[in-house]
Amino acid sequence: MTEDLQEDPKRASIAAAAINVFSARGFARTSMANIANEAGMSRPALYQYFQNKGDIFGYAFTALVEDAANDALSALELDGSVADQLDGFLQNFDGAFWERTSASPYGDELLSAKSEYAPRAVGTVMARIRRGLETYLKKVGPPGRSAAIRERRQGWIDMLEYAPRGFKLDRPSINLYRQRLSALAKSIAADCEMKLRSA
C-alpha cells in the first residue's frame, strides 16, 4: 500500500468501504451518503477525509492497483521457473484485477472512471511495474547491454503490460483469462530462455 494509506488507517478504511459500494452500484449511482453509510460514519464526517466521491474513487482505485503491483512484483522473487514467476506476476496483477472488476456489473464504468480520477497514480504504478520487470528480466534473461538485447527486453515488457488488455476484448470467463495469462508467461519465458542459451 502507499505510505499515505499506511499513515492514515481511517482513509484506508473508508476506501475499502467505498470499493464495495462502487462495485455494487457503479460510479455514477454511488453517492457520498452511500459511502458514509458503508463506512459506518456520517456524511459530514466523510468530508473531513475526502472532498468528493471522485477523490475517494481515485484514492481507493490507486490502493487496489498498488496492492496488486506489490503482489505481482513479489511473485517475481518466489522460487520457481521463469515461467512460474512470470505467471505469478501476471496472475497477481492482471488476473486478480480482472476477477475483481468482472465480478461487478459496473466493471467497465469503473475502469473508465479510473482514467478521470486516478490517471497519474496509475501511471506511477505502471512505471514501477515496468522498472521491476526490467530489473527481473536483466537478471533472468540474456546478459549484456547491446541494443538488440535492450530492444528484446523492452519487447517482453511491452507484451507483459499490453497483451493482457487484448485478452479481455471478448469478455472471457475468469478461468479463460487466467489461462491466457499463463500461456503468455510460458511464451515469454521460453523466448527468454532461448535467447539466454544463444547468448
Give residue-wise pLDDT tens across range 116-161: 888 888 889 999 999 999 999 999 988 877 888 899 999 999 999 9
Q: Reduced to 3 states, what is the DSSP secondary structure of residue 169?
A: coil
Indicate if the pLDDT at residue 42 is higher than 50.
yes
Looking at the domain that runs over 3-198, which CATH code has it been given? 1.10.357.10
Using an 8 Å Cβ cutoff, are 113 and 64 in contact? no
**The pLDDT value given to residue 1:** 39
DSSP state for residue 2 in the 8-state scheme: -
Q: How far is CA 34 from CA 60, 81, 85, 187, in A?
A: 15, 46, 40, 45
Mean pLDDT of 27-47: 96
By C-alpha distance, which of 167, 48, 22 is closest to 106?
22
Using an 8 Å Cβ cutoff, are 22 and 60 in contact? yes
**The pLDDT value given to residue 13:** 94
By C-alpha distance, which of 134, 73, 61 is closest to 100?
61
Within 26-118, residue ranges assigned H as helices are: 32-39, 43-46, 53-75, 82-90, 96-102, 107-117
pTM equals 0.86
Mean pLDDT of 24-35: 95
pLDDT category of residue 112 using cuts at 50, 70 and 90: confident
Q: Reduced to 3 states, what is the DSSP secondary structure of residue 106?
A: coil
